[in-house]
Structure 1
Amino acid sequence: MNEDRIAQLQKFREESPDDPFILYALATEYKEETPQKAKELFDELLEKHENYIGTYYHAAALYAEFFERDIADEIYQKGIALAQKNGEHHALRELQNAYTNFQFEE
């Protein structure tokens, strides 16, 4: 976790509070060392910016790490449906692969 980068992202968030990329960047910064904070930020993204496709992969993986498999499953499925609907083929392949791996881990 890079404290300088987090401080800069927090500043950007104050300047542009509705920018989903900034929220996403913050969540990924917190993911390794402060996963609960990352989870809160991913939840905010899923609630306020449900079309931000990058969220689904990381949010589902984090929920799986927290052993909240039902929620992770829902997030993967919603992300896959959204990627299909929007024709985001790269994101769709990544989500499908991650979801398949997730299912095998069960």
Structure 2
Amino acid sequence: MSRREQIESLLADDPNDSFLLYGLAMEYRKEGAHEKALERFDQLIRQSPPYVPAYFMAGQMLAEAGQANDARSWLRDGIEEAQRQGNGHAAGEMSELLMTLGQMGE
């Protein structure tokens, strides 16, 4: 059984577990299944409270895929949420990545 399959099996028992959903998203990312990864990242940010690392990883994955505008959108939203949650470290990391992409559209 692959790591992804193991995570999916665990999620069957607890489909809203943030740690498992994040792990599944990261496995999809590693496999190159970016759409599936984005679906899980989106699921994570719709939770209450949103799972801040999902914003950063989605932004990073989209930037690597050459989708800078989408990456910037995820990162801006992530910075706002990180600040709301008092997570200055995450906000700083996302700000740094956003700066490397440039603030404006392509």
Unaligned runs of 5+ in 2: none
Aligned residues: 103
Change over 3 Å in CA distance of 1:13–1:75 after alignment to 2: same
Task: Name the structure 2 match of 1:6.
Answer: 4
TM-score, length of structure 2 as denominator length: 0.81
Q: Which position in structure 1 is the counterpart of 2:69?
A: 70
Match runs of 1:14-25 below 5 Å: 14-25=12-23
CA distance in 2, matches of 1:5, 1:49: 27
> CA offsets per residue over residues 14-37 of structure 1, 9 Å max, x none?
011111221111011111322232
Q: Give unpaired runs (5+ residues) of structure 1.
A: none
Equivalent runs, 1:39-78 vs 2, <5 Å: 39-48=38-47, 51-78=50-77
Alpha-carbon RMSD: 2.1
For residues 49 and 68 of structure 2, the distance between their equivalents in structure 1, rounded to whole angstroms, comes to: 20
Q: Distance in 2 between matches of 1:96 and 1:56?
A: 12
Which runs of 4 or more aligned residues in structure 1 lie more than 4 Å from their structure 2 counterparts after TM superposition? none
Calculate the TM-score normalised by the size of structure 1.
Answer: 0.81
How far residue 66 of structure 1 moved from its aligned partner, in angstroms, is 4.1
1:11 maps to amino acid: S
SS class of match (1:31): helix
